[in-house]
Amino acid sequence: MTTLLIALGAGVAYLIAYHTYGRWLARKIFRLDPQAMVPSVALNDNNDYVPTSKSVVFGHHFTSIAGTGPIVGPAIAVMWGWLPALIWVLVGSVIIGAVHDLGSLVVSLRNRGQTVGDIAGRVLNKRVRLLFLLVLFLALTIILAIFGLVIAAVFRQYPASIFPCLIQIPLAIIIGVWLHSKGVHLMAPSLLALAIMYLSVIFGDWGPLHAFNSTLAQWSTITWVMFLLIYSYIASVLPVWTLLQPRDYINSLQLISALVLIVAGLLAAAMLGGAPPVEGAARPALEIAAPAIRADPVGAPALIPFLFITVACGACSGFHCLVSSGTSSKQLKCESDAQFVAYGSMLTEGFLATLVILACVAGLGLGVAAQDGAIATGHDAYMVRYSSWQAAGGLGAKVGAFVDGSANFLKAMGIGATAAVALMGVLVASFAGTTMDTACRLQRYVVQELANTFSKGDERPTGAANPMAWLSNKHGATVFAIIVAGVIAAMPKPGADLTWQTSGTGGLILWPLFGATNQLLAGLAFLVISFYLWRRRTPVWFIAIPMIFMLIMPAWAMMAQIPSWLQSDQPNWIAIVIAMATVALEAWMVIEAIVLWPRVKGVVEQTLPPLVAPEAPTGVEGI
């Protein structure tokens, strides 16, 4: 019953937070104005800037920020016990993560949809802008280089999820074109898309489709990485209403309905017990099988600061500022929709992270296969996956703990084991896919901003060709982004020889940096938001404490890892150098901010230049 009370209590707490703290931020601090001109209308080009209904933008935003982060992070953090992870998710998402996401979206809305990195150049100074953009480029490169590996690993572990995930692409295009050209109401297409996606999960591994899934599951990692990078290029350069918006929207319908199923299954398990682990056995009671606090897991780093970089999405994640200011701000057609899209999405993600924690510490206890093939239950089941940090650290173990635990909830309702596992596998793979294509579009914006920055500082003779011009073009910038990510991904993982089997795992070279770099982005985004408000004499106390926290913790964690990397038999010198450079960049930006802070209170930054009329006719709306 404790598991059920935690789930219901978290849901109620998030609803209260949205209608109290979230509303206070929207109305009293950011003063959202439904009549304000927004970038999607002022710069409507029917490609990147497209005014869109808030429900569709919510779907895009939620699926983009969630990714696999709120699954793999909490799934390994329960190694320290369920209580620290749960507290960080509940408290962090409400007063840190959701504030970060809302602030990033609002500041971008009021700066013509510019990214937070670009805005830093005006509310702080040009040096900070350049440093911020470089950090953004690094973080997005890591995502693009690693997420192909993540998706390939999920497909290999759960082949039945391949067809249901791939069918979403043509389905999204059909829905996007239908809604965009016909202007129909969302209800009918939404119900149709949801029905088709669930049918694809139920029947997506039957007959010839089983052979199809099995064949693609055998693809090498580098093959999947290249396929997904090419897909990301296409999704990045197409108008948002063609593929990005509808795919994220229909994914959000499936994913949110899957969360509802998990809660229903949790309720059934709490009231009736789990499904019998073996035929003829009694239904096991739903109980938390993990300790509340586990002080010294074998091989694990210190709880503080590593909890706060292990659980990012679900509590606070710097990647969210890129989605808020990179894509969502270019699609909102009303400024007051920002609370629903940004604050609401973060709380929804926090609820997902809560369910992941419960699946790993209670759902697993309903029964999981041990190494000897026997079915373990209770604390024994928890220890099957969490006997040591190394045992829980692999991607398969992280994803598997959630998939198996949540599938146990679904089986308690009578859903078959095959369908339950396939549904949860599709959920994980879909989240990863939507994050990857959004990250590619965001990287395109960052490359274009960097190219424009360096072009402005280039002292060429009058009339000379600009060698950076091709990077200012959306196709050139996107090609550059996927080539860089592809080259890194094509390398072997640290310590391995280059073979066809190891190619595609190169993202693991930079992966140790991602947690700290991602959280550092959140601290730097808070820095930009606080300067924006400080220049307008708006209170910043509610941002100052989260900002300091999110600047200290990732730097602490990154510096704590460097000695162990240096002492390794095969030091990861690329990660070591980048980690040290990143900490130095952070220190530089913080010093710049401290020097500037007392001089800018009440001094509004220079306004943007007058608008240039968009090339495409205005008045075209998204789905």
Q: Is residue 130 part of a domain?
A: yes
Domain count, the chain: 1
Are 117 and 132 a contacting pair, CB within 8 Å?
yes
Q: Is residue 614 part of a domain?
A: no
257 vs 253: CA distance, rounded Å: 6
68 vs 147: CA distance, rounded Å: 9
Looking at every residue in the chain, the average pLDDT score rounds to 89
Mean pLDDT of 197-214: 91
The yes-or-no verdict on residue 459 having pLDDT over 70 is no
Please tell me whether residue 171 adopts helix, strand or coil conformation. Answer: helix
Amino acid in the structure at residue 594:
I
What tens digit of pLDDT does each residue of 567-592 get? 888 888 888 998 898 888 888 889 99
Neighbours of 431 (CB within 10 A): 27
Mean pLDDT of 453-460: 66
Are 229 and 482 a contacting pair, CB within 8 Å?
yes
Rg over alpha carbons for the chain, rounded to the nearest Å, is 23
243 vs 223: CA distance, rounded Å: 22
Q: Tokens for 164?
A: 């249901």
Are 146 and 439 a contacting pair, CB within 8 Å?
no
- Dmax (CA) for the chain in angstroms is 84
Residue 617: the pLDDT is 47
265 vs 258: CA distance, rounded Å: 10
Q: Is residue 340 part of a domain?
A: yes
Residue 623: the pLDDT is 62
479 vs 506: CA distance, rounded Å: 19
List the Cα angle 533/538/540 in 5-degree steps: 70
What tens digit of pLDDT does each residue of 471-499 get? 888 999 999 999 999 999 999 888 788 88
Q: Which residue shows structure tokens 């013509």?
A: 112
Three-state secondary structure readout of 457-514: CCCCCCCCCCCCHHHHCHHHHHHHHHHHHHHHHHCCCCCCCCCCCCCCCCHHHHHHHH
What tens digit of pLDDT does each residue of 518-534 get? 999 999 999 999 999 99
82 vs 62: CA distance, rounded Å: 25
Residue 42 sits in a domain of what CATH number? Answer: 1.20.1740.10
485 vs 506: CA distance, rounded Å: 9
Q: Is residue 313 part of a domain?
A: yes
The yes-or-no verdict on residue 227 having pLDDT over 60 is yes
> Domain containing 590: what range?
2-457+467-599
Residue 460: the pLDDT is 55
- Percentage of the chain exceeding pLDDT 90: 55
Are 351 and 94 a contacting pair, CB within 8 Å?
no
Q: Is residue 196 part of a domain?
A: yes
**Per-residue exposure over 262-291, b if at least 16 CB sit within 10 Å of its own CB, e if not:** bbebbbbbbeeebbebeeeeeebebbbbbb
Q: Is residue 621 part of a domain?
A: no
Residue 278's pLDDT band, with cuts at 50, 70 and 90, is confident
List the Cα angle 375/377/380 in 5-degree steps: 100
Amino acid in the structure at residue 395:
L
Q: Is residue 620 part of a domain?
A: no
More confident residue, 397 or 57: 57
332 vs 113: CA distance, rounded Å: 10
More confident residue, 18 or 515: 18
More confident residue, 141 or 617: 141
Dihedral angle computed from the Cα positions of residues 506, 430, 322 and 249, in that order, rounded to the nearest 10 degrees: 160
390 vs 381: CA distance, rounded Å: 17
List the Cα angle 32/614/136 in 5-degree steps: 60
More confident residue, 335 or 606: 335
- CB within 8 A of 471, min separation 6: which ones? 447, 448, 450, 451, 477, 480
pTM exceeding 0.85: yes
Neighbours of 469 (CB within 10 A): 12
407 vs 417: CA distance, rounded Å: 7
Q: Which residue shows structure tokens 């190169």?
A: 506
Q: Is residue 618 part of a domain?
A: no
